[in-house]
A and B are shown apart, each in its own frame.
Chain A
Amino acid sequence: MSAPPSPGAYLEGVGVLGPGIPTWPAAARVLRAETPWESVPTVLPVPQCLPPAERRRMGSLVKLTLAVGLEACAHAGADPAGLPAVFTSSGGDGRNCHEICEALASAERLISPTRFHNSVHNAAAGYWGIATHATPAANALCAHDASFGAGLLEAVCQVAVEQRRVLLIAYDANSPEPLFSVRPIPDAFAVALVLAPERSAAALAYLALAFSAERADTLAPPALESLRRAIPAARGLPLLERVARGGGGTVVLDYLGELRLGVELSACR
């Protein structure tokens, strides 16, 4: 009997932004336990690549996803304009949603056109295209707590089937009340990965995906483990930890309840 299928991809670039984690190199130092993690609020840079009119209209998720996407592309030496992208988020823009629902609960029910077009789950993907001039396909996924795994699956399937380099961006952010009480995501966090079908000089590691029933890997420092559990986009941190340490072997990531993802990792450097 043949081995179960295990589509894979070469990891060429990483971008990370979250509380106390301004960049992938900073994240790598924390994940290698070289520096302790400090829980300070996520600082979102203002992107210069969007025209002023779009900069005024965009929400914080656009800043978040542009920052990690551009970092991962620069790390991989890839031109963002040429990459298909997979965006995945457990809940999208909670602040924008709150503003719309407040307006709809009022007597006038007036929504601004900008609020409405920013309400689509693929808003970050749309602004990414406008900012980077990327015309290949962009996907926009949601799988609640399983959103990181769903995005990784989609991205690796695209690399394997289309034989093209793909950018994955997993992101989440906190919502205002009352949404915060029902979905207490503490802060903005995003990870971006550039994944490629063939090994190049930029390759950091090869990863092969399969479903797994094993227990998900956790992070040793309790505060970092809390971050992993609190923000769906951070469910990929055990994979990044292994990459940061230059290690190999299987990393098990949380996905859909009892269905988990086994990522077989082999370092390329």
Chain B
Amino acid sequence: MTPLALSSFTATSALGCGLPATLAALRAGRSGLAPCAFESVTLETSVGEVPGVDANALPPALTAEFDCRNNRLAWLGLNQDGFAEAVERAAGRYGRARLGIFLGTSTSGILETELAYRRRDPAGAFPADFRYAGAHNSFSLAAFVRRALRLSGPAVVISSACSSSAKAFASARRAIGTGLIDAALVGGVDTLCLTTLYGFHSLQLVSRTPCRPFDVARDGISIGEAAAFALLEPAAGSAAGSVLLLGTGESSDAYHMSSPPPDGAGARAAMQAALSDAGLSAEDIDYVNFHGTGTPSNDEAEARAVADVLGKQIPGSSTKGATGHTLGAAGALETVICALALQEGLMPGGVNTTQVDPALPVHYLRANRNARLRRVISNSFGFGGTNCSLILGRAP
């Protein structure tokens, strides 16, 4: 592919709002996971909750149509690091209709529906204040962002579970490639809700303790929430050191709805496709940000796939011990973390993991390592057997 620049990017997660807070937490090896006190949930687990989401009101003109926790987190995230202003400048350069919106979410505003089901009237009808399009529907996120930033180009939500917002980058770069649009607002937003907390619990995939990716005693995920965004533009004229999207790779397992094939075939295919798309080989990659959810089978399949494609010695870590698994936002959040890693020369160590599973053929970093990084790869895999790998690098 022709490289594209991440000309502006931002992240808001349990590590904090915006890049300085995120970077400080990564440097300190701090985890944002804490015992779950969300809503009325009584599960014994830790979550990566973003403080202050519900206090962050939407623009008044949009509240009636779009108010829900997911859009409040989106708005909180858009207003960090001057990101909304960068989008406004891009809209000025290219035109408001020449900027596309590609956002990932797995559950959008479903929390509103879950709570409305408790408030059904005796006949079973929703309360009058329930909104389908602006809260429940997956597209609510992109519709809200389009209205809030007054953009008038194409917009779509990619909702492929935990690969959603990684795949958003692949879709955006194709649309830019056709010339239908000049630039794209890409990202992911997912928020805590009962469906995912109780759903992953039903599959016995939730850890009681803060998740420990690649640990010999790993026993499940910790669910988090995040909003992460990037502005993708043609890379021509980017300053040296700018972060570039170099390649995208996608594949399907065609195996099982909720577990990967043990040999990691789908993950392998996604990484190989990303390398081929970028015109790179394994030696060109300096760091891998694992999907690394912390379940026994996911980490094992991914470790095998990474060893096959990139070798056992490539340094890597999962940042989910710090942020939790932010599901539909994970791809975008970890892409932004990779962009920070490239800019700062920082390979973030995986927190919470105390003893790396000796059965996994990986060079797993438990502590931060500083090194000049040329290129990094970020993996995102999801239910339904959906896989996406993204390769980022620095402009020469």
Output the residue of B142, B157, B254 with the most chain A CB within 10 A. Answer: B254
Which of B86-128 touch A at CB < 8 Å? 97, 106, 110, 113-114, 117-118, 120, 124-126
Closest CB of chain A to B138's CB: distance in Å? 4
Q: Which residues of A contact B257 (CB under 8 A)?
A: 57, 117-118, 123, 126-127, 130
A46 at the interface (CB under 8 A from B): no
B106 touches A120 (CB 8 A): yes
A18 at the interface (CB under 8 A from B): no
Q: Which residues of B contact A117 (CB under 8 A)?
A: 203, 257-258, 383-384
Q: Mark B162-174, 1 if CB is under 8 A from A, else 0.
A: 0000010011001
Which of B154-187 touch A at CB < 8 Å? 154-161, 167, 170-171, 174-175, 177-180
Cα A104 to Cα B40 with chains together (Å)? 11
Q: Which residues of B contact A43 (CB under 8 A)?
A: none
Q: Mark B228-257, 1 if CB is under 8 A from A, else 0.
A: 000000000000000000000011111111
Q: Which residues of B contact A112 (CB under 8 A)?
A: 202
Q: Which residues of A contact B384 (CB under 8 A)?
A: 117, 120, 122-123, 125-127, 129, 138, 140
Closest CB of chain A to B192's CB: distance in Å? 13
A141 touches B180 (CB 8 A): no
B266 touches A135 (CB 8 A): yes
Closest CB of chain A to B141's CB: distance in Å? 9
Cα A138 to Cα B163 with chains together (Å)? 11
Q: Which residues of B contact A182 (CB under 8 A)?
A: 126, 130-132, 136
A113 touches B203 (CB 8 A): yes
A162 at the interface (CB under 8 A from B): yes
A113 touches B202 (CB 8 A): yes
Q: Which residues of A contact B126 (CB under 8 A)?
A: 178, 181-182
Knowing A130-B256, A139-B167, say if A111 contacts B120 (CB, 8 Å).
no
A140 touches B160 (CB 8 A): yes
A65 at the interface (CB under 8 A from B): no
B133 at the interface (CB under 8 A from A): yes
Cα A138 to Cα B164 with chains together (Å)? 11
B118 touches A105 (CB 8 A): yes
Q: Which of A57, A130, A143 contacts B155 (CB 8 A)?
A: A143
22 contacts between A and B (CB under 8 A): A5-B179, A97-B113, A100-B195, A103-B198, A104-B195, A105-B117, A116-B198, A116-B199, A121-B159, A122-B383, A125-B386, A127-B384, A132-B254, A136-B250, A136-B252, A137-B251, A141-B159, A143-B142, A143-B155, A144-B133, A158-B174, A259-B153
